[in-house]
Homo-oligomer: A and B are copies of this chain.
Amino acid sequence: MKQFEMYELTIKGEEPQGSQALVDVTAEFTCGGQTTKVKGFYAGDGNYKVRFYPSLAGAYTYRVSGLMQAEGSLVCLPNEDKKAGIVRAEGTHFVYDGGEIFKPFGTTIYALSHQEEERIAQTMETLSTAPFNKVRHCVFPKHYDYNHNDPELYAFEKDADGKWDVNRPCFAFWEHLEKQIFTLADMGIQSDLILFHPYDKWGFSHMTMEENLIYLDYLLRRFAAIPQIWWSMANEYDLVMDRTMEDWYDIESFIVENDPYHHLLSNHNCFGFYDFSRENITHQCVQTILVQKAADWMKEFEKPLCYDECCYEGNLPLTWGNISGWEMANRFWMAVCQGAYATHGEVFLSDDEVLWWAKGGVLKGESPKRIAYLKEIVDAIPGAIEPWQEYHDFDIQAYMEKHHLESMEELQNSPLISRFMNPNEVDDIVSKMKDYNAFGHVGEDYYIGYYGRHCNGIAPWKLPEDHQYKIEIIDMWNMTRDVTMTGVSGRFDVKMPGKEGIAVLASRID
């Protein structure tokens, strides 16, 4: 047994009577007076398994009870790998149990594990050199435009009436799915596993809540000890027609109660965001184009923010699926330079209907290598970027001077200016769309500003007076970086190339 890695115990027995999902097998793992109780699962073929994720190194005892009995003692070796273990939310960022910050650069391959073997192998080959360290993929298969193929395996066997029987997991399916999760994990890629979604012709989105909880119970028994997994309750929860908000809250509670390790948990929207203020929700998983709002939402919810869908690079006749590679990379830069994270997707029309976004295969777009370039820059910065909100704060003094206003009172008394001083939600969003540049910092060591589509010829900067910095101009599309100033501090102007896609990085040199 090794700290921060899944430990698995197999006990042979007879095929269970009744539900094969909810077998009566539990285990207790005790280390240093601390006991964790986990449920075992039936893996078919007379194999009962107990999986455990040890967060502590040291001497353990375990005891299996219920249908199967076993007990013993184990030594759990300490894990020195800082990238080991479950990724957790800490403030507005992510950290491995091993201690290192995890900075997600995601992609979507929704129906990854529902493709033929050759396709999956090709996908894994592509991922082995791609910049992505998180993949959003689904337990259930996907039926949608460009997704008309049936998978070989389904999560459950059917009953005599041809109805899915959640009490009879299809073991080959679960082995196949977890094989993909392990393969991704071996490449350092987190599975942001989507538990429900609406794009369905097989009936999985129409299961009753009772069936849903049995399905989740089995899934959690089987997967919860795998470190490299996040729970995404749904993709587009608000399009799953059979579900009410209460259902989603019940699903949320069930997961929290049945996941002994408290993996990351969120829910992905189509229209309205899930309520990220809920205690069990560890991070903000959003579908929106509003990359300009990252700093606001990080401040509001004090949780990490993943733009898990902000349109896809491609050429579909659908507005969510035809942004340019430039714009896809631009949205990554906007999010990341504020300390948030983004998820890529790619949808190029293809005669064989193999679009990366759902099926994997090979990447055709222009954004991945720019995302790789951004990742390289961000990975080289120790620490996590926080929004640098001060940069945007309205310089009231300069404004008053410009308008010959003598006092704050005069400004606030002006009835027409009040809309500016107290913008409504629409004004706020539109002005952010127009005005926003994405600025972040890591303490007083690094400051980064990304200007998006703004073509500044110069940019005013203000850094701490008591440190010295070097200034680099980064061209996100041409992937160049040039040191243009050294030893600067306080207020100064940065000369800029007057084009789109430019970032300024200030690194402390004293």
Question: Which residues of A are in contact with B by a Cβ distance under 8 Å?
Answer: 144, 198, 201, 237-241, 243-245, 270-272, 288-290, 311, 314-317, 319-320, 322-324, 327, 348-349, 402-405, 410, 414-417, 419-420, 423, 425-427, 429-430, 433-437, 453-460, 493, 496, 498-500
Contacts and interface: CB of A to CB of B under 8 A. Distances in A.
A455 B315 contact: yes
Nearest to A326: B500
A429 B432 CA distance: 13
B403 A455 contact: no
Contacts of A498: 315, 322
A349 B497 CA distance: 12
Contacts of A403: 198, 239, 241
A157 B338 CA distance: 54
Contacts of A270: 420
A420 B323 CA distance: 22
A394 to B, nearest CB: 13
Given A239-B403, A416-B243, A430-B290, A349 B457 contact: yes
B241 A317 contact: no
Contacts of A436: 319
Contacts of A416: 237-241, 243-245, 271-272
A188 B457 CA distance: 34
A453 B405 contact: no
A434 B349 contact: no
B314 A241 contact: no
B457 A316 contact: yes
A348 B499 CA distance: 12
Nearest to A289: B434
B324 A289 contact: no
B420 A456 contact: no
Contacts of A405: 241
B433 A289 contact: yes
A441 B457 CA distance: 39
A278 to B, nearest CB: 16
Nearest to A410: B241
Contacts of A323: 453-455
A421 to B, nearest CB: 10
Contact of A324 (B201, B239, B327, B500): B500
B458 A319 contact: no
B427 A429 contact: no
A435 B454 CA distance: 22
Given A429-B429, A430-B289, A455 B314 contact: yes
Nearest to A310: B434
Nearest to A288: B430
A317 B459 contact: yes
A315 B290 CA distance: 24
A425 to B, nearest CB: 5
A435 B319 contact: yes
Contact of A434 (B311, B314, B437): B311
Contacts of A324: 453, 455, 499-500
Contact of A271 (B290, B419, B435, B459): B419
Contacts of A240: 416
Given A271-B417, A319-B454, 9 more contacts: A238-B419, A244-B416, A271-B423, A289-B434, A317-B460, A319-B435, A320-B435, A322-B457, A327-B453
A271 B427 CA distance: 8
A473 to B, nearest CB: 14
A62 B459 CA distance: 62
Contacts of A496: 315
Contact of A272 (B237, B272, B419, B459): B419
Given A316-B456, A317-B459, A317-B460, A238 B437 contact: no
A395 to B, nearest CB: 12
